[in-house]
């Protein structure tokens, strides 16, 4: 529990927080880890040889199934790391007690993977960010965030709001049930703050308002699925910024002299897009109001009229995409990786539809 100026926020703690490197007992070194140790020494060096041929890009995460013995699970993770962790590793089914052992060994190596997990489906997706992977998130927090806060200061009616980044942290998706929990670990989680009447900072909500995610060599479908998770399964998230990196330079130059084909010489590309929920036309849903902790009065402002004039639901041309260009994520539909709008059945009510759209231009 976290007490913030007479407001009590319940922090949902992911299961793996107890395995933070600061509290982990170092595991006994294993001889089979030598190659991985060299790999992560390599990862700490500045990026060089940018002109070298690039590794081919897969269309989906690597899938390793039927991993029950803890040694086999650890071996699979170490093998993936030994290849340079070129793309996310999806493990299912996973024995989470055995997975704790994997986290112990990775902590000993100084490896801090980011992960999405689901204890109900017994699945984990691991990512090991490279220096290049961390650049967009660092830029967003250092350069874009101050400009966002300047804009908030200009348009806010009260409360003196601002966004603050807490970096990469494990977040619980939805409400954990007796059957398990689902969680994610984005690259940047930005929380909405206000200044109260005493001049103290107040957390407006206990979930992020904006999420920044860097996607390196992931399939477009996986990225869109993640956006739906953030916007519809995490209450309070209003926007998701995705930086999609493709044809990322390999961590291990030429994989010990391996030759590359023509497809591995594609140019590196970075694309940033802002995604949000499709507007419903209802102001309370599309533009929910936060409480004003500064207790400022609105004076003569007609709040409803201000909302209507400033954020008319028909003023955003991107939200009025041609219905024929909407890509459905239904199982029998073909996926369009370049669509600006996506829809899916509501997992909790398949008769209802959920939609996201890309607010930013191409």
pLDDT at residue 109, as a whole number: 87
Distance CA(113)–CA(85), nearest Å, equals 10
Using CB atoms within 10 Å of the CB of residue 303, give its burial: 0 to 12 exposed, 13 to 18 middle, 19+ buried: exposed
CA distances from 14 to 44, 115, 119 (A): 27, 11, 11
pLDDT at residue 131, as a whole number: 86
Contact 358, 277 (CB under 8 A): no
Residues 6 or more apart whose CB falls under 8 angstroms from that of 228 comprise 329, 342, 344, 354, 356
Task: Count CA atoms closer than 13 A to 247's CA, side-chain side.
Answer: 15
Contact 54, 265 (CB under 8 A): yes
pTM (2 decimals)?
0.73
Q: Is 123 in a helix, a strand, or coil?
A: strand
Q: And the tokens for 281?
A: 């036309």
Residues 6 or more apart whose CB falls under 8 angstroms from that of 361 comprise 318
Q: And the tokens for 180?
A: 């398990």
pLDDT at residue 354, as a whole number: 94
With a cut of 50, which residues of the chain have pLDDT below it?
1-11, 13, 17-60, 63, 67-68, 253-259, 262-263, 298-321
Task: Count CA atoms closer than 13 A to 69's CA, side-chain side.
Answer: 3
pLDDT at residue 2, as a whole number: 34
Residues 6 or more apart whose CB falls under 8 angstroms from that of 261 comprise 56
Distance CA(158)–CA(9), nearest Å, equals 22
Among candidates 304, 305, 318, which has minimal Cα distance to 239?
318
**Strand partners for 91:** 64, 124
């Amino acid at each position: 529990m976290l007490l913030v100026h007479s407001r009590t926020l319940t922090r949902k703690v992911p299961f793996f927080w107890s395995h933070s490197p600061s509290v982990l007992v170092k595991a006994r070194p294993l001889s089979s880890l030598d190659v991985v140790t060299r790999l992560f020494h390599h990862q700490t060096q500045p990026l060089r040889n940018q002109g070298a041929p690039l590794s081919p890009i897969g269309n989906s995460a690597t899938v390793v199934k039927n991993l029950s013995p803890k040694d086999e699970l650890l071996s699979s993770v170490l093998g993936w790391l030994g290849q340079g962790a070129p793309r996310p590793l999806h493990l299912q089914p996973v024995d989470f007690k055995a997975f704790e052992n994997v986290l112990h060994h990775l902590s000993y190596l100084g490896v801090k993977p980011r992960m999405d997990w689901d204890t109900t489906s017994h699945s984990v997706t691991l990512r090991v960010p490279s220096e290049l992977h961390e650049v967009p998130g660092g830029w967003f927090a250092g350069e874009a965030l101050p400009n966002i806060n300047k804009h908030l200061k200009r348009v806010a009616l009260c409360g003196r709001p601002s966004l603050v980044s807490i970096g990469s942290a494990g977040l619980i998706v939805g409400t954990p049930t007796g059957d398990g929990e689902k969680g994610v670990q984005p690259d940047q989680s930005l929380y909405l703050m206000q200044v109260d009447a005493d001049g103290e900072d107040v957390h407006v909500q206990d979930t992020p308002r904006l999420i920044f995610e860097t996607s390196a060599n992931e399939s477009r479908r996986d990225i869109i699925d993640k956006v739906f998770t953030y916007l519809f399964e995490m209450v309070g998230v209003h926007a998701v910024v995705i930086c999609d990196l493709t044809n990322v330079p390999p961590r291990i130059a030429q994989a010990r002299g391996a030759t590359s084909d023509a497809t591995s010489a594609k140019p590196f590309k970075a694309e940033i897009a802002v995604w949000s929920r499709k507007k419903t036309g209802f102001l309370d849903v599309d533009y929910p109001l936060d409480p004003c902790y500064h207790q400022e009065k609105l004076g003569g402002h007609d709040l409803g009229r201000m909302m209507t004039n400033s954020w008319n639901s028909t003023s955003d041309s991107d939200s009025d995409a041609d219905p024929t260009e909407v890509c459905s994520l239904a199982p029998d539909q073909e996926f369009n990786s370049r669509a600006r709008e996506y829809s899916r059945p509501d997992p909790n009510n398949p008769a209802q539809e959920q939609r996201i759209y890309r607010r930013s231009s191409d």
